[in-house]
Structure 1
Amino acid sequence: MLMKRLSLALVPAVLVCAAAPALAANLKDIFRAARLHDMGYRQAGASYREARTLGPEARSAFLPHISAQANTTYNDLTSSILGGEAGFIFPSGHFTFNANGYGISVTETLLDIRALYAWRAVGATIHAAHQRYALAQSNLVLTVSAQYFAFLLARDDLRLRRAEERALRAEYQSALRSFHLGRAPITDANEARARYEAVRAATLAARNAVRLARARIERMTGRPADHLWPLNLHHPLLRPHAGTLVTDEARALRDNLVLRSARFEARAAAQSAHAAFAAHYPTISAQAGYSYNRADNGEFGFGTVLRDKTIGLYLTLPIYQGGELSAKSAHASAAAFQAHVAALRVERRVQFDVRQAFFNVRNDYREIAALAAAKKAARVALASERLGMRVGVRNNVDVLRAEQAYYRSRRDFARATYDYLLSRLELKAAVSHLTAGDIAELNALLQPPGAPYAPSHGHRPPRRMLRP
């Protein structure tokens, strides 16, 4: 009974929590949540931290190795002298005694070419892991921006579809009234209904697209995505940078993270191949040691105390190990060549990606200007068709076509705006890399949900276009 009362008492609190709206989030909030939740980014960070631990291990080959040892033993010894002469001075018998000792040794490598190349290979591996970690953040910036803008575009498309649906429903009802009054044929009403039903179906598809886009963001961030800040289309868009294609390609060959990572991996493979071949070379080391051993008794009836001090040079030269060293050297050389070819392949791909992104940015920026003009022209054409219908020179079908053309121009303009912003990010990612600063730059183009939202109006067509 008590549990039932507690359950009933908790029901209002649960309903209040469930009814509480989710907090509004902008692009920076989504990026912070994705950086904490994204497993790919966290795995890249873990791989980089793991790679950094290889440095001290490789460097230890050049540092002194100091070891100490100690021992103590209890001995129970029975000694019998057989065949000895009568005057043999060492007695036979049963002895129990303790023996103990300690020692310390220091070894310093003076020459080890294989370890030197291995240390260089580890350094290149660490640099490659660091580039991959930075690349993971750059990819996360691009992914978060793409998913965020995909949701905004789907939401804009849904709102425009609903507005178009309302407009076409009104046109259909007007055509139906005109038919009943005998001022228009039935074909106008049938076409208006067909267009209205098609827009209704498109609205349902747009609603499903919004749900899918929201689900992708929630999967990426692990948090609700109900009240995302919209894009402020009144804000002037950022112009493309004034660089040239040749400059961007040269920068990409120097700063692109994918290419830098591939080159470091090729360098690590080359150093590993040198290390495998250097296993044939001799190694020289110096060693010094001190040891103390004491035994209270022994098999000859007396104890001993031994102190030993040593210092010397040691040279080791492998002569033949069954072909193992040659086989490892050949395998490492083949792996180094494969890594070199992979780096060349990445270099060609980066050049193509930069060229493609460069042209996309220029084309999208000009497309925005053209679509802004087309949207304005479609709005004027719609007003003209409606006026012509009132004076009797246009019919309902003409108005329907102008209505759909107007909403289509608004959707195309919104899509081109989001495409342009993503193209800018793709170009910078192809040339170098993306950071949290790029998220902040895009976040400045957003507006809080409470501000007036105009998904179809606002952006003024650019007056001056940059030459490619």
Structure 2
Amino acid sequence: MRHFLLPAVSIVALAAPASAETLQEALARAYQANPTITASRAQQRANDENVPIAKADGRPSFSVTGNLNENPVNTGNAFGNPERSLNASAGVTIPLYSGGAVRNSIRAAETRVEAGQANLRGTEASLFTEVVGAYNDVLRDEAIVGLNTQNVRVLETNLRASQDRFQVGDLTRTDVAQSEARLSVARGQLQTAQANLISSRENYVRLVGTPPGVLDAPPPLPNLPDDPDAAVEVAVADNPTLLAALRSRDATQYDIRVARASRLPQVGVTVGGNYNNYLGTLGAGSNVGGVSGIMQDGASAGVGLNLTLPIFQGGRPAALIRQAQALRAQAIEQATAAERQVIASTRSAYAIWRSSLQVIQSAEAAVSANRLSLEGVRAENSVGNRTILDILNAEQELLNSQVTLVTARRDAYVAGFALLAAMGQAEARDLNLEGEALYDPVVNYRRVRNRISDFGTDPAPEPVAPTTRGTPAQGAELTKPLAPELNSNVDRTPALTTGENAPNR
């Protein structure tokens, strides 16, 4: 599956303005500058360095040392304790055999790099799932605010009509009180909906880095599986979190070999040279030969073969091996736990997605039926067959079904995307982030894996993700009208509003 984020029909509105922000744009911003993913990339770059660190243990090392000694008080033999001396030495150590410790350390590091790359894929998928959720939360909550705003307007009209009909004796004070109470409840629900919208917008800012503005319709999700078993089959093969756990498990077998190498012989070659100079002070003050007859400097060089054969280390090698074996057992169980989690998440996302689709169908039918019911109740009220409470209940039922509809649409989309993410098919390579260069962790790994320079450092780190401190606090204003299927304007003829021509109940 590739390139599926294309324009589509809106979840809560038929169309958005041409300047509306798309889900693809929101994902691209998060991909480039969300601190969670930029930090994960930096962590993976640090993980890459474990490979050259492991390789360094098997490479020759060269060192130079020097010292200058000054003896201001010299009362002993001038040959054994000259006034000053200069010494320098240089040596090259070449490891030849380490029991397989270096080789297996490198393999373990390389395997953990692969695990880290899979984890980075998982971070991308998790971030995109959060962004998709935040994007649809804003759409849902803005629709709910619109519905509650509409409901308040309707109830305000009902209250004025009830008051008018009370003035002409067509209704009782009880009817007016019921309208007032329902309007007060509706205003409280509107305040709650507005607070939820503000919270969703702030969460969007946290993830994307910019305010949501006018959001376009999210696109349809392609290639969703037909049954949960097919989804699980794909997820077990390509879920990045599971792949990372499996690679981490594989790395532990090399750790055991490294621990076993601690009780094997180690062989190395050392090539070194020394130079010393007493700076004319050797033999000073002595009556033997004078200073001028004594050699004041000297040099030497040597080549040696070093063999280290561990005999007894106090139980340390065995403890290291047992520790590595226990950690491998832990990694094996963690891989099993990751597989279980992936299977459960996939099946759960599939179930929520399918259930939400059914809820959408039911809610659409309920909205249509409740709208018809409200119009009928209003018409029957105009001839005295229905009470004001019947109208209020019908309006509340319509509102509830509308809220259920927009919520189910949000839940279905987010669950569908989460299902794709669990299957390993909702990452940057799948999202067609046009104009955005995709981050490839392999590039940095290839750059550093064979470096041998002690001075090849990178520039000082600079912030990548911008702060949102300057972003204005989000409000609950509406950015676009409700979709027609959510609009519940009703006929407001005089007979329905004042009751002047209707018979008394």
TM-score past 0.5 threshold: yes
Match of 1:332 among 324, 328, 340: 324
Match of 1:156 among 110, 125, 143: 143
Q: Is the 8 A contact 2:221 2:416 kept in 1?
A: no
Partner of 1:62, secondary structure, is coil
Q: 2: CA distance between counterparts of 1:38 and 1:243?
A: 33
Equivalences for 1:291-370 in 2 at 5 Å?
A: 301=293, 303=295, 308=301, 310=303, 313-370=305-362
Q: 1: CA distance between counterparts of 2:349 and 2:257?
A: 39
Pair 1:302–1:335, CA change in 2 (3 A): same
Equivalent in the alignment of 1:420: 412
Pair 1:251–1:286, CA change in 2 (3 A): farther
Partner of 1:457, secondary structure, is helix
Match of 1:132 among 103, 108, 119: 119
Q: Displacement, 1:49?
A: 1.0
Q: Is the 8 A contact 2:269 2:305 kept in 1?
A: yes
Equivalent in the alignment of 1:268: 251
Match of 1:454 among 468, 482, 501: 482
Equivalent in the alignment of 1:258: 241
Equivalent in the alignment of 1:46: 42
Pair 1:166–1:68, CA change in 2 (3 A): same
Q: Displacement, 1:307?
A: 5.9
Equivalences for 1:5-404 in 2 at 5 Å?
A: 25-35=21-31, 38-67=34-63, 105=92, 107-225=94-212, 227-231=213-217, 237-238=220-221, 241-288=224-271, 301=293, 303=295, 308=301, 310=303, 313-404=305-396
Q: Displacement, 1:64?
A: 3.4
Pair 1:335–1:103, CA change in 2 (3 A): closer
Q: Displacement, 1:421?
A: 0.9
1:411-463 Cα offsets, whole Å, 9 max, x none, are 1111111111100121122222532466669xxxxxxx99964346289xxxx
Q: Displacement, 1:294?
A: 8.7
TM-score calculated relative to the size of structure 2: 0.70
Q: Is the 8 A contact 2:41 2:120 kept in 1?
A: yes
Question: Aligned-residue CA RMSD in angstroms?
Answer: 3.8
Q: 1: CA distance between counterparts of 2:80 and 2:166?
A: 134
Q: Is the 8 A contact 1:293 1:307 kept in 2?
A: no
Q: 1: CA distance between counterparts of 2:394 and 2:149?
A: 17
Task: Give percent identity, aligned residues only.
Answer: 23
Pair 1:117–1:26, CA change in 2 (3 A): same
Partner of 2:310, secondary structure, is coil
How many residues align structurally? 415
Q: Is the 8 A contact 1:61 1:109 kept in 2?
A: no
Q: 1: CA distance between counterparts of 2:194 and 2:345?
A: 34
Pair 1:305–1:164, CA change in 2 (3 A): closer
Q: Displacement, 1:158?
A: 0.9
Q: Is the 8 A contact 1:411 1:456 kept in 2?
A: no
Pair 1:305–1:393, CA change in 2 (3 A): closer
Pair 1:62–1:126, CA change in 2 (3 A): same
Q: 2: CA distance between counterparts of 1:159 and 1:377?
A: 20
Question: AA paired with 1:381?
Answer: S
Q: Displacement, 1:174?
A: 1.9
Q: Is the 8 A contact 1:65 1:106 kept in 2?
A: yes
Please list every run of 5 or more consecutive structure 2 residues that lacks an aligned counterpart in the other structure: 1-18, 284-288, 434-476, 488-505
Pair 1:196–1:458, CA change in 2 (3 A): closer
Q: Which protein is richer in helix relative to its size?
A: 1
Pair 1:439–1:164, CA change in 2 (3 A): farther
Q: 1: CA distance between counterparts of 2:481 and 2:238?
A: 39
1:286-326 Cα offsets, whole Å, 9 max, x none, are 4556778899997784548666463x644321111222222
Q: Is the 8 A contact 1:414 1:455 kept in 2?
A: no
Q: Which has the higher contact order (CA 8 A, sep 6+)?
A: 2
Q: 1: CA distance between counterparts of 2:130 and 2:363?
A: 26
Q: Is the 8 A contact 2:68 2:84 kept in 1?
A: no
Q: 1: CA distance between counterparts of 2:249 and 2:49?
A: 20
Of 354-363 and 341-350, the range deviating more from structure 2: 341-350
Q: Displacement, 1:395?
A: 3.8
Q: Displacement, 1:181?
A: 2.4
Q: Is the 8 A contact 2:267 2:308 kept in 1?
A: yes
Of 63-72 and 188-197, the range deviating more from structure 2: 63-72
Partner of 2:263, secondary structure, is coil
Pair 1:124–1:238, CA change in 2 (3 A): closer
Q: 2: CA distance between counterparts of 1:384 and 1:265?
A: 65
Of 354-363 and 383-392, the range deviating more from structure 2: 383-392
Q: 2: CA distance between counterparts of 1:230 and 1:93?
A: 89
Q: Is the 8 A contact 1:132 1:261 kept in 2?
A: yes
Partner of 2:92, secondary structure, is strand
1:173-217 Cα offsets, whole Å, 9 max, x none, are 223322332334444333222222211111121122222222333
Pair 1:78–1:156, CA change in 2 (3 A): same
Q: Is the 8 A contact 1:410 1:456 kept in 2?
A: no
